[in-house]
Amino acid sequence: QSALTQPASVSGSPGQSTSISCTGTSSDVGSYNYVSWYQQHPGKAPKLMIYDVTKRPSGVSNRFSGSKSGNTASLTISGLQTEDEADYYCSSYTSSSTLVFGGGTKLTVL
């Protein structure tokens, strides 16, 4: 059982927007702005998409954005493209001095 809860799957059509939620507690997501999101294609290493809740690394499309409200963080992908189809993981620092990941969400672009 993962420390952070994500939906197992989400889907969307090309050009649409979709969001993936990441629910934690007041001991992790709710207390720290150290939330990050990773994209992982099959057989590949994860790729950092968002860090510090809202920051986007250089080279990551501005179609990807992050936010947080209370104990829940969200990744929003606008203008869905077929290459966005992948697994997405959230991560947070916790008050137990550890880094935890969510269980992952499979995004299907229909």
Residues at the contact surface with other proteins, assessed by CB under 8 A: 2, 32, 34, 36, 38, 45-48, 51-52, 55, 57, 89, 91-93, 96-104
* Closest CB to other proteins among residues 99, 110: 99
C-beta of residue 80 within 8 angstroms of C-beta of residue 13:
yes
Q: Supply the minimum distance, in Å, between the C-beta of residue 10 and other proteins.
A: 16
Where do we find the tokens 């869905």?
Answer: 80
For other proteins, which is the closer residue by CB, 45 or 82?
45
CB-nearer residue toward other proteins: 62 or 82? 62
Annotate 52-87 with b (16+ C-beta within 10 A) or e (fewer).
ebeebeeebeeebbbebeebbbbbebeebeeebbbb
For the bound state, the minimum distance from the C-beta of residue 91 to other proteins, rounded and expressed in Å, comes to 5
- The tokens for 6 are 């994500």
